[in-house]
Structure 1
Amino acid sequence: DNRALPIGCGQTISQPLVVGLMTQALEVGPRMKVLEIGTGSGYQAAVLSRLCRRVYSIERHRDLMQTAEKRIAALGIHNVITLLGDGWNGWPDHAPFDRIIVTAAAVEIPAVLKEQLAVGGIMVIPVGEEFETQELLQVRKTEAGFDIHPMFPVRFVPMLHGMAVPGQTRR
């Protein structure tokens, strides 16, 4: 079934077609370091783990992160590193990243993530307002700046600031 499904904490797993298209748009190679914002169920990280050297994945919901870690370990995946944190901050200790994938919609492309993307790198991110149709963007960082390529309309949960409070589904 090609549809988004709830995974708890007010979050959803993207429909498989969207996961595939986002992964394809990243143009991931075997020696690359990828940052994922929004671990969720761990599905996207597991897919990426088979295509790149290392996946760094940030999740703001402790319960989701712990469940994803167990799933990833059960699959025998050893190149995914998770962090409980605020995706708006990225992961500066491991930057720059060859690729960045964001699995929640931001109103605009976060400047911090643009800074953490390596020159020649690609970011795939949904951008737009909550409860409205958003645009999935492929963002390439060049020596001169950023080339932004709109891909197709999407609907993602919003990218929220801060850490999630246990039992709280939104803020």
Structure 2
Amino acid sequence: MAKLPHKDTHETQLARLILALRSQGVTEPAVLGAIETTPRPLFTQDLFKDRAFEDSALPIACGQTISQPFIVGLMTQALRVDKRDRVLEIGTGSGYQTTILSKLSRLVYTVERYRTLMRDAEERFKTLGLTNVITRFGDGGEGWPEQAPFDRIMVTAAASDEPKALLAQLKPGGVLVAPIGKGPVQSLRRYTGDGKGGFVIEALTDVRFVPLLDGVAKEL
């Protein structure tokens, strides 16, 4: 009798993903641990749940995507988050990146311009029992000045130019990681405060993100 094709378990798929991330340079144990303990299927649409542990971006509501795990890991590692940090995230999306940041920091303030995405993410945060995530429906390009300054800022949409309004909300010595550029391919950059009002800027790799748009989205 012919054997049925073996179907990988989620545990096997997750282990394969973690190995793939390590091989690509995501090696920080705390970051890998946060990814390993964050259930990516929870953040994907039903149609794509069987692909949740692929190292690829996947569609979510409002024409947006849940980022490729490698990019999530790379950006999180580049942010150098500490357990004492207050982090601002621009672009909540599915809430996957938010959840990973919440496992590594003291507080995460996250801003989303799509009300539908924000509501769905809030439900996921409740399901996971997260108590250190604060959400806001608004224009991410403006940041969250009432809660500034922040130790770390992560931008998950591509700013066309240097995000001066967000950099102004960093603490001295703080770190901001963001994709910068107007074209389909952008430069992932890390800005680290030099303590003198300026920044050390590093180009990390080329990435593809949806653009950072002004205002909030009008949804039907």
Aligned to 2:149: 96
Equivalent AA in structure 2 for residue 2 of structure 1: D
Aligned to 1:14: 67
Unaligned runs of 5+ in 2: 1-53
The structure having more radius of gyration, on CA atoms, is: 2
Q: Which runs of 4 or more aligned residues in structure 1 lie more than 2 Å from their structure 2 counterparts after TM superposition?
A: none
What RMSD in Å do the two structures reach over aligned CA positions?
0.7
Provide, for residues 110-160 of structure 1, a one-character-per-residue CA deviation record: whole Å limited to 9, x for no partner: 211010011110000000114x21010011012230110000000000000
Higher relative contact order (CA 8 A, sep 6+): 1
Equivalent AA in structure 2 for residue 5 of structure 1: L
Q: Does 1:135 align with 2:187?
A: yes
Q: Does 1:85 align with 2:138?
A: yes
Aligned to 2:102: 49
Higher strand share: 1
2:79 pairs with 26, 29, 40, which one? Answer: 26
Inter-partner Cα distance in structure 2 for 1:115 and 1:93: 12
Aligned to 2:206: 153
SS in 2 for 1:35: strand
Inter-partner Cα distance in structure 2 for 1:6 and 1:123: 26
Q: Does 1:124 align with 2:209?
A: no
Contact 1:36–1:55 under 8 Å retained in 2: yes
Question: What's the % identity of the aligned pairs?
Answer: 55
Equivalent AA in structure 2 for residue 119 of structure 1: P
Contact 1:49–1:80 under 8 Å retained in 2: yes
Inter-partner Cα distance in structure 1 for 2:185 and 2:98: 25
Equivalent AA in structure 1 for residue 96 of structure 2: Y
Aligned to 2:17: none
The aligned length equals 166
Inter-partner Cα distance in structure 1 for 2:156 and 2:115: 17
Contact 1:99–1:123 under 8 Å retained in 2: yes
Task: Return the TM-score normalized by structure 2.
Answer: 0.74
Provide, for residues 72-116 of structure 1, a one-character-per-residue CA deviation record: whole Å limited to 9, x for no partner: 110011100000000111001110000000000011122110100
